[in-house]
Amino acid sequence: MAISISIDIGGSEIRFGLVQDCKVIKFSVKPTPKTREEFEEIMLSKTKEMILYANENFKRHKLSHIGVSCPGPADYKKGIIVNPINLPFLKEYKLKELLKVFKYSVIVENDANCFVLAQAILDKNPSKRILFGITLGTGIGGGLSIDEHLYKGNENACEIGHWLYGNSSFEEEYKRLKDEYKSKLGVEEFQEVGKAALKGNDIAKEAFEKIGRLIGDLSYNVILAYAPDVIIFGGGLSYSWSLLKKHIVKAINRKNKIIINKPTIKRNSIPKANLIGASLLTKY
């Protein structure tokens, strides 16, 4: 029975997992570094650690591949991260070339695609064939699964964070709002804004109303473009789902003039979905 190594490169953390049958059987996390040199050291040392653990504890199981969930845009076939807005030190970075030193097949895929693939495979529903995943983390990501297969167009489809919003983009406005309200509340991390909102702070609640409205407008465009059965949200900001959902739905309904069949709107229910999705890349 095959097992795989999965790596999820995020704006604030890099997660490493050993995955068997869609279950993460070993997990490790490191803060995302700020330089290429530190990045390479972490990637090589933690991947080697996972391989040694697999060889020592699962001797009867074949290690199938190394799957990497990473931010876009990227040339995923060649495994080159092209221009990640939130990780500028990885511009034009040859990720697959780095990991080939371990002599295993390396598959690189967009993080939102890995996220939505895990949802499609593990949360099966015959009436919900078309799933669109939206990840809200350092930036905004999007991924589309149709009948449990990823739709990528000519490689970089569904980069919805970069869709135009006024004179900027949805992702730029999303970041601007987060920075504005962190400043207003005098906190370093936006998670603290969420905690304040849950305690009833009016300024913090206003932040989630504005961000929810923004994401609702984005979701409305997703519905017009792809007509999914389900829009499912993940990423770091999904921890505040109770603060966001009503504003997202309200914004969709406010704009709804031509949508006949509304999708289900829900939050991710699968822990470590990106790692699981990366483990499935050889099959779907």
Q: Is residue 284 part of a domain?
A: no
pLDDT above 70 (res 62): yes
Mean pLDDT of the chain: 92
pLDDT above 90 (res 130): yes
Same-domain status, 66 and 140: no
Which amino acid, one-letter code, is at 17? G
Residue with tokens 């598959």: 107
Residue range of the domain that includes 21: 3-114+272-279
Sequence-distant (≥ 6) Cβ neighbours of residue 226 within 8 angstroms: 130, 132, 144
Tally of domains in the chain:
2
Reading the block at residue 105, the tokens are: 């097949």
Q: State the Cα angle at 154 between 151 and 160, rounded to 5°.
A: 65
Q: Is residue 100 part of a domain?
A: yes
Q: What is the DSSP letter of 263?
A: P
Q: Is residue 240 part of a domain?
A: yes
Confidence of residue 179 (pLDDT cuts 50, 70, 90): very high
pLDDT above 70 (res 268): yes
Same-domain status, 140 and 256: yes
Confidence of residue 78 (pLDDT cuts 50, 70, 90): very high
Give pLDDT, residue 257: 72
Q: Is residue 120 part of a domain?
A: no
